Structures are given as C-alpha cells and as structure tokens.
Amino acid sequence: MIYTVRGIESVEEWADLVLADRETSAIEGHIGTFLEEVARILSGGIKPGSGVDLQLEDAEGVIQLDAIQASPNTKNAGGRKADVDSLKRAARPLRAHRQQVGMNIAVLGGRSKTAAMRSEPDVLVLSSDEFWAPAP
C-alpha cells in the first residue's frame, strides 16, 4: 500500500524499492554502529546508559547529547521520535543537577545544514560537517 502511494506502478519497481529499503536498514544497523563508535573515539565522548549514542561536554561547559544516524534517510518518523524521546529522557537528570544540556540528532554523512526540528525546536539536527568538525 505504501509503495502504491509513492507512485510504484510495476512489480519490478516495487521489488527494487523493497530491496533498497532493506539495504538501507541493514547499512544503518552495521555500518552505522561502527561509525557511532568512531564518532565517540574522535570526540572523546561517552555512550551514556540512557539510549543516547554520544555525550560530551563542549567548550562552554554545555553537555551535548547526540542521537546519531548514518545518513539523512536512514530513520523513519518512528525512529526519529524514539531518538527525540531518548534525548529528552537523558537530559532530565542532567538538568535536575543544573547542567546546561544541548540535544542533537547528528547525521554522520549527507546533511548540508544544521537546523532545529520543526516539531521539536529544542532539538537540533546537525549538519554532517558541523558534527565532524574538530572541537575548538
């Protein structure tokens, strides 16, 4: 049904899209996990136990919480909502201890600009270049 709404008119097109969707999911699962670890090592951050992928303190003393995804198209609305929920859950105890907290969705490759989410203005979706830029 979803593929029909997307304009698929033949079984061949449908099969191609189904395989591409499965491949995207598998890539996120395998390569994405590897890249998350690379990001933690390069940033010097940690993986907190709260479902967030990366936690680090920036130069201004703000705790940055990042939910990481490999590319812009690897998460659906449910996956994005789960990331936002994890960020909010991880931020609560830090804020209770009077820590400033930034909540980010970091896209490791393929996103050209940083912008706040429309539905969650407190959550920034970071450009790939900004995420990988060395800390000052």
**Residue of 120, 84, 88, 117 lying closest to 101 (CA atoms):** 88
The pTM score is: 0.75
CA angle 56, 59, 63 (to 5 degrees): 35
Residue ranges per structural domain of the chain = 2-132
pLDDT in tens, the chain (136 residues): 565 556 777 878 877 777 776 666 666 667 777 888 888 888 889 998 778 999 999 989 999 999 998 778 777 778 889 999 999 999 999 999 999 999 999 988 889 999 999 999 999 999 999 998 876 6
Architecture of domain 2-132: 3-Layer(aba) Sandwich (3.40)
Cα 31 to Cα 2: distance, rounded to the nearest angstrom? 27
